[in-house]
Structure 1
Amino acid sequence: MKKIGFIPLRKGSKGISNKNKRKMVGRPLFTWVLGEAIFSNLDEVYVYTDDEDIIDFINKEYHWTDKVKALKRSDISATDTASTETAMNEFCESIDYNFDTFCLLQATSPFTRKDDINNCLAKLNDGYDSALTVVNTHRFLWNEDGKPINYNPLERPRRQDFEGLLIENGAVYTVTKEALKTHKNRIGEKTAVVKMPEDSLLEIDSESDWIAIESLLIERQKREKESKKITHLVLDVDGVFTDGTITYTKDGEHTKSFDMRDGMGLEILRQFGIQVMIMTSENSQLVAKRMEKLKLKHVFLGVKDKYTLLKSIINDADISISNVAYVGDDVNDLTNICSVGWSLAPNNATDIVKANADVVLSKNSGAGAIREACQFISNYNKRF
């Protein structure tokens, strides 16, 4: 039974410019649902877009998995007036319906988790030909004529006694191939519902929506932290190992400065069995040489979606994300900062990172921050 995911993306966005690519908690918005899809029970995940930048991003970023594929959609299916079903049907015909189960995922639903996807997929094994995600809302609804829709105002129920209504949140839809071919629609004739948290009902149509959703995601990630022994330390490079500046020569070459004491701190940590990893968005040979000198084997260069790669690493290592400490300084580190067991930021990190890190170090980057972080981790692990 082949199960495929489908994420349609358009280049244009009227409400928020470049919405799909804009960073939500430091990650492009569409990578929130894409990352969850990668770790779900889907066999393949297709991103269907007219944006060449996104196609290039996916081809470079997710080379560590063969599950993700990016395809160019037609201009006709990417207009403002084209429906999602137009893109779905165009895609399905282009691959000759080579699947058994189709899963539509909306990039503008960053609250989607892999369990939501898996639960929708599982419903198709229970006699349903489609499933969708909903939210149980306890709002009292009225029509334009001033008449109540879902309750009696004279017997106004308490919230805990009110069943409320199930509202489609537009996050996940699953449908069998047979139903999709017959109806040309994301929904078949016998549909199951899967409940998601009420926050997932929020839509991203304005700047205020963006701010609210970003704040909720940050708090969600932080709430899931647990107190566990640190077994892995992951570090950014620029603004962590270095002071964040680059010196160029007249020939265009550049240099970076590293603090030797940081290297000693990492060596001490490794003596206690803590695995040290490097994860940076830059693809720098200077960095590669320095990490080789430090005898660090796990070096990941040119990483833009750091959170999804980190989840892949912890899955392979069979550890919890709370077993990880992370040192970062800028917005592209933010999701990891909010998610790992212990996050640390140099004293000269960006304000948004310092506001969300568990520990703001007294030392600046390139001037002892890593050594201080290593000492903190050593002291913290003593309790275990």
Structure 2
Amino acid sequence: MSKSIGFIPLRKNSKGIPGKNKKKLLGRPLFTWVLTEAIFSNLDEVFIFTDDTEIIDYVNTHFNWSTKVKCLERSSENASDTSSTEAAMLEFCDKVETNFDIFCLLQATSPLTQRTDIDRGLEKLQKEKLDAVLSVVNTHRFTWSKDGKPLNYDFRNRPRRQDFEGLLIENGAIYCTTKSALLASKNRLSGEIGTIEMSEDTLVEIDSETDWQVVEQLLTSNFKQNKSTQRINYLILDVDGVFTDGRVTFNSEGEFSKVFDMRDGMGLEILRQHDVRVMVMTSENSEVVAERMKKLKIEDVFLGIKDKYSCLEDICMERNISPKEIAYIGDDVNDLSNMLRAGWSLCPYNATRLIQFHADIVLKNKSAEGAIREASEFIINYNLRFNDL
């Protein structure tokens, strides 16, 4: 059986957008969007190839839950502004100890890439016995040459959009090739080449601040369009700024105390009696939080989670949960991607302005002042409509 690997090349320096690969897109480093999709695709292994030690440390620390992900250091010679992606690919092939049959180049600057797109590329390559497959977008645009000549239509007989086949354009997101074809041609594309079509919005690659804003809006819109009204079976909560007022006291040994609201604990207990499972997900690795959750008898407590979106995806995959049956309560930007992903998103009255803008419900109460109790009562009342189903 063929072994396929994903390859995500990242450079430390970027002139267009400084630190682009690590910059937060909806609360997550840019490169993690395609990395997460690669993890949950049919690829057997996924390699981050970079000269940025911060990225390597981040992946080794926060993606160690996946056995698929590995990091390999990229030489400075192949990480300059003038270095080609092909040079990085060939350097990787020389360095990597893993044997493989199929090489899948994935670009971090295409964060709209989905795992299903990756799988379609792999399937087409193998099923049709091709040498390479690339992702394209079918755009219904009329193209012209510099000397004023139409290239893909007759302007004297302008076709209607529905009658126009359009033009296939590389979107730079996915390139799959066999190992033998790659090494023989030293190119991502060679021999018999096929294409897979991706949605038109994936034509945007992030090369400028304007691209960044466009992609952020597209991601947000896609998430919101996929929301639907189902029974809420799970409630996932952040801690600081949701359970607590966001303040922490410290002593010489470190974190000393946080403030919790007893009414919130009772609300969650009542919510569990109504068959809603409660989970906690926080970026802090706090003993105080661990003890409080133990007191509240919450079994699913995920501490020290920096990339909450990947954690949520992993939970949903392992437990066969649909994000549409999840309500998520957050208060700051690191919760944003999960709030967009979940069926329902709620936030305390004192959440950041960005979170309030995107939340489905802004609660009337502040964090540590009854916000969770209010959310629990909303979920109980909301779920009543599903009792007879």
TM-score, length basis structure 1: 0.98
Residues 97 and 289 of structure 1: is their aligned pair in 2 closer, same or farther, counting only changes over 3 Å? Answer: closer
- Matched residue, 1:325: 327
Aligned-partner Cα distance in 1 for 2:183–2:170 = 23
SS of 1:151's partner is: coil
Aligned-partner Cα distance in 1 for 2:27–2:313 = 16
2:103–2:179 CA contact under 8 A, matched in 1: yes
Give me the CA root mean square deviation: 1.1
1:98-117 to 2 correspondences below 5 Å: 98-117=99-118
- Matched residue, 1:151: 153
1:8 aligns with 2:9: yes
Tell me which moved more, 109-118 or 195-204. 195-204
Aligned-partner Cα distance in 2 for 1:252–1:105 = 41
Aligned-partner Cα distance in 1 for 2:333–2:254 = 27
TM-superposed deviation, 1:217: 0.5
TM-superposed deviation, 1:353: 0.7
- Matched residue, 1:136: 138
TM-superposed deviation, 1:105: 0.3
Aligned-partner Cα distance in 2 for 1:237–1:173 = 41
- Matched residue, 2:309: 307
TM-superposed deviation, 1:270: 1.2
- Specify the code of the residue in structure 1 equivalent to 2:359: A
1:19-40 alpha-carbon deviations (Å, 9 max, x no partner): 1111111111111101100110
Aligned-partner Cα distance in 2 for 1:68–1:181 = 23
Aligned-partner Cα distance in 2 for 1:72–1:296 = 40
Aligned-partner Cα distance in 2 for 1:353–1:10 = 31
1:6-155 to 2 correspondences below 5 Å: 6-96=7-97, 98-125=99-126, 126-155=128-157
TM-superposed deviation, 1:289: 1.2
Residues 250 and 283 of structure 1: is their aligned pair in 2 closer, same or farther, counting only changes over 3 Å? Answer: closer
SS of 1:383's partner is: helix
Tell me which moved more, 67-76 or 93-102. 93-102
- Matched residue, 1:294: 296
SS of 1:319's partner is: coil
Residues 281 and 96 of structure 1: is their aligned pair in 2 closer, same or farther, counting only changes over 3 Å? Answer: closer
Aligned-partner Cα distance in 2 for 1:118–1:12 = 30
Identity, % of aligned pairs? 59
Residues 251 and 300 of structure 1: is their aligned pair in 2 closer, same or farther, counting only changes over 3 Å? Answer: closer
Unaligned runs of 5+ in 2: none
TM-superposed deviation, 1:252: 4.4
TM-superposed deviation, 1:250: 5.5
- Specify the code of the residue in structure 1 equivalent to 2:12: K
SS of 1:337's partner is: helix
1:97–1:177 CA contact under 8 A, matched in 2: no
Unaligned runs of 5+ in 1: none
2:109–2:207 CA contact under 8 A, matched in 1: no
Aligned-partner Cα distance in 1 for 2:54–2:299 = 31
Structure 1: 4+ residue segments shifted above 3 A: 249-254
TM-superposed deviation, 1:188: 2.1
Aligned-partner Cα distance in 1 for 2:278–2:145 = 59
1:261-293 alpha-carbon deviations (Å, 9 max, x no partner): 111111111112211111111111111111111
- Specify the code of the residue in structure 2 equivalent to 1:98: N
2:248–2:255 CA contact under 8 A, matched in 1: no
1:243-322 to 2 correspondences below 5 Å: 243-249=245-251, 252-322=254-324
- Matched residue, 2:199: 197
- Specify the code of the residue in structure 1 equivalent to 2:61: K
Aligned-partner Cα distance in 2 for 1:142–1:96 = 47
